[in-house]
């Protein structure tokens, strides 16, 4: 099943340490999604992300997430399965990419790093992901066209939060002052 969570902060409010503690707490909140492994990563500035893992494809430590490219520029948290990853992997290897794992997460990571958002249309499967470019400080959130894998987000003036579970977002401190819009109802 797996689970992802992350936050990008637009304005400096309470400091990086507090942001990291919040994301770690939200990740623990989703422990039932992935009992096999968990991971955390932060750029130490404005982006933090975490992952809960249910090992299916690559059950080794090489499948640990958040996963970074070898140069450290790109980071991904990913839930799902891209069925055509062996073909994509082969094509990326022909372009010189060297893989450390045998699963689809690293293939998705390098496909996005090499091909940009055009890679999304090449994925045949079910997925939700957060892909962060540390050089550009850009976050891409995406999920499969049918929405099989859940991906929720909340955009507020302080920043953006994303997660596999909507209740993770509801317990985030940024959501505490939000109210139901009577006009929307």
Which alpha helices (DSSP H) does 30-95 contain, by range?
85-94
Bridge-based pairing of strands 74-82 and 3-9 is unpaired
- Residues 6 or more apart from 14 whose CB is under 8 A from it? none
Question: Coil, helix or strand for 142?
Answer: strand
The question of whether 2 is a catalytic residue gets the answer yes
Residue 39 has which token pair?
């991971």
Of the candidates 2, 26, 113, 161, the residue annotated as catalytic is 2
3-class secondary structure, 47: strand
Strands, E assignment, 61-134: 67-68, 74-82, 125-133
Please answer whether residues 108 and 66 qualify as being in contact, where contact means their C-beta atoms are separated by less than 8 angstroms: no
Kindly state the helix (H) or strand (E) to which residue 140 belongs, with its residue range: strand 138-143
- Tell me which residues are annotated as active site: 2
């Amino acid at each position: 099943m797996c689970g992802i969570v992350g936050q990008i902060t637009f304005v400096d409010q309470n400091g990086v340490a507090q942001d990291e503690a919040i994301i770690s707490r939200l990740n623990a909140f989703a422990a039932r999604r992935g009992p096999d492994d968990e991971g955390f990563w932060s750029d130490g500035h404005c982006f933090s992300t975490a992952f809960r893992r249910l090992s299916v494809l690559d059950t080794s430590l090489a499948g640990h997430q958040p996963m970074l490219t070898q140069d450290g520029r790109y980071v991904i948290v990913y839930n799902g399965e891209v069925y055509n990853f062996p073909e994509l992997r082969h094509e990326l290897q022909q372009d010189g990419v060297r893989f450390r794992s045998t699963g689809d997460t690293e293939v998705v990571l390098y496909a996005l790093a090499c091909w940009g958002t055009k890679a999304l249309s090449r994925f045949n499967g079910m997925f939700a992901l957060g892909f962060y470019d540390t050089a550009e400080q850009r976050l891409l959130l995406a999920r499969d066209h049918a929405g099989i894998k859940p991906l929720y987000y909340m955009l507020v003036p302080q920043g953006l939060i994303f997660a596999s579970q909507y209740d993770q977002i509801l317990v985030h401190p940024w959501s505490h002052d939000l109210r139901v819009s009577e006009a929307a109802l």
